[in-house]
Amino acid sequence: MLRFKLDVSKEQKQRLLETAKAYTEAVNFALSENLKDKTTNVKKLHRLYYSSIRKAFNLPAQLAINVYRDVAAIYKTL
For 38-67, how does the pLDDT look when each residue is reduced to its tens digit (9 = 90+)? 889 999 999 999 999 999 999 999 999 999
Q: What is the dihedral of CA 19, 21, 27, 31, to 10 degrees?
A: -160
Is the model's pLDDT at 6 over the cut of 90? no
Is residue 50 packed enough to be buried (19+ CB in 10 Å), middle (13-18) or exposed (0-12)? middle
- Residue 38 domain flag: yes
Is residue 9 packed enough to be buried (19+ CB in 10 Å), middle (13-18) or exposed (0-12)? exposed
- Residue 19 domain flag: yes
**Number of folded domains in the chain?**
1
Query: What confidence category does residue 26 fall into, taking pLDDT thresholds of 50, 70 and 90?
Result: very high
Q: What percent of the chain has pLDDT over 70?
A: 100
Structural domain harbouring 33: 13-77
Phi, psi angle pair for 39, to nearest 5°: -75, 145
Query: What confidence category does residue 70 fall into, taking pLDDT thresholds of 50, 70 and 90?
Result: very high
Query: What confidence category does residue 78 fall into, taking pLDDT thresholds of 50, 70 and 90?
Result: confident
- Residue 43 domain flag: yes
Q: What is the pLDDT of residue 57?
A: 96
- Residue 2 domain flag: no
